């Protein structure tokens, strides 16, 4: 019975202060469902573990699971050096705030895709976000919806394991010219596979443009081609037929930090850019909606 009253504020979405001075975020990790056919179209769990001293009868918050709404695809995650600030932002709304031993949370309504914050939550969100101005510039509209996020850091992000899903990577693949139907471009990524360096070309092609009033949705397909010395590596010789078969729209061989995903377990990328074509990509703005769909299984190194 006591457990029910303890978790009732979390169910109702009421903010719950973490008592004590030792509250710290110990672990934050993404756990993907193995059976999920699409990475971003299935429900995902975020596990956040915190420790705090038990004071005045409050039990320490040990584990909390937050289900993400499947319609959202962008995640902004930044951990600051002081170890007590965890700011997790989404393109449409604020997800979770953890600041100075306080866990501020509101329940997300899956029936309302845009979501909204009340006046108290909006004021608190602006106060916390203003202290993160060195890294992020965040703006909320009148309803409390998060509609613009701009990074103020000039450091260029590289598409590694974690940061590949961040916003900078998606914008870095855009060509420095107007996007038209059928336009193609490529990016070169040098990877070390099997002890040798392989030049992997990620090719992009605009496959569809859908006008929607003042805005348009641009669909960009991606596939990969490579030019490695096949005979030098037994590993690459086994992958060669799959790699050559991966040429074509949406079929990709992808290598990421020692993990190889072959075209037999097809990895498909499909980016949707929502915005005015005149603004792409000369003046790239981060309020554009980007959705990613892909199917993949990791092949671990033995």
- Return per-residue pLDDT of the chain as tens, 302 residues: 544 444 443 443 333 333 333 332 222 222 333 332 322 222 222 222 233 333 333 233 222 222 222 222 223 222 222 333 233 333 223 333 333 333 333 333 223 323 344 454 444 444 444 443 333 344 444 444 444 444 444 444 333 444 344 444 455 556 655 567 777 777 776 665 555 555 666 667 777 777 666 556 666 666 555 554 444 444 444 444 443 333 333 333 333 332 333 332 222 333 333 443 333 333 222 222 222 222 333 333 34
| Domain limits, the chain | 2-151, 172-291
Dig out the tokens for 106 from the structure: 């509101």
What is the predicted pLDDT for the residue at 173? 58
What is the predicted pLDDT for the residue at 184? 77
Whole-angstrom Cα distance, residue 34 to residue 72? 19
Q: b/e string for 140-177 if b means 16 or more Cβ within 10 A?
A: beeebbbeebebeeeeebebeeeebbbbbebbebbeee
What is the predicted pLDDT for the residue at 210? 72
In order, the DSSP letters of the chain are -HHHHHHHHHHHT--EEPPSS--EEEEEEEE--TT-SSTTTS--EEEEEEE----TTPPP---EEEEPPTT---EEEEE-TTSSEEEEEESSSEEEEEETTEEE-----TT-SS----HHHHHHHHHHHHTTTTTEEEEE-TTS-EEEEEE---SPPP--TTGGGSHHHHHHTS-SS---TT-EEEEEEEEEETTEEEEEEEEEEEEEEEEETTEEEEEEEEEEEE---GGG-HHHHHHHHHHHTT-STT-B-EEETTEEE-TTS-B--EEEEEE-GGGTTTT--TTSEEE-------B---
Pairing of strands 146-151, 136-140: antiparallel
CB neighbours (10 Å) of residue 240?
Answer: 15
Assess contact for 186 and 245: CB atoms under 8 A: no
What is the predicted pLDDT for the residue at 227? 54
């Amino acid at each position: 019975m006591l457990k029910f009253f303890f978790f009732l504020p979390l169910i109702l979405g009421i903010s719950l202060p973490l008592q004590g001075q030792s509250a710290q975020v110990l672990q934050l990790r993404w756990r993907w469902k193995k059976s999920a056919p699409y990475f971003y179209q299935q429900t995902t769990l975020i596990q956040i573990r915190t420790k705090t001293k038990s004071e005045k009868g409050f039990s320490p918050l040990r584990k909390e699971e937050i289900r993400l709404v499947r319609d959202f695809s962008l995640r902004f995650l930044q951990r600051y050096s002081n170890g007590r600030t965890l700011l997790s932002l989404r393109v449409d709304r604020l997800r979770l705030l953890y600041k100075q031993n306080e866990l501020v949370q509101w329940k997300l309504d899956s029936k309302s895709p845009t979501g909204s914050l009340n006046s108290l939550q909006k004021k608190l969100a602006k106060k916390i976000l203003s202290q993160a101005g060195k890294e992020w510039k965040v703006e909320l509209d009148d309803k409390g919806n998060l509609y613009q996020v701009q990074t103020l850091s000039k450091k260029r992000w590289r598409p590694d394991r974690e940061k590949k899903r961040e916003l900078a990577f998606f914008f870095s693949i855009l060509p420095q010219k107007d996007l038209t139907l059928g336009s193609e471009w490529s990016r070169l990524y040098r990877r070390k596979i099997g002890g040798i360096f392989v030049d992997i070309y990620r090719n992009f092609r605009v496959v569809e443009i859908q006008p929607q009033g003042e805005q348009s949705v641009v669909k960009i397909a991606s596939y990969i081609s490579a030019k490695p010395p096949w005979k030098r590596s037994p590993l690459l010789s086994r992958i060669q037929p799959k790699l050559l078969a991966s040429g074509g729209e949406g079929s990709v061989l992808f290598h990421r930090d020692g993990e190889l995903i072959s075209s037999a377990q097809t990895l498909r990328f499909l980016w949707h850019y929502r915005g005015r074509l005149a603004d792409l990509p000369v003046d790239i703005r981060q309020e554009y909606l980007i959705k990613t769909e892909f199917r993949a299984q990791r092949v671990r190194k033995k």
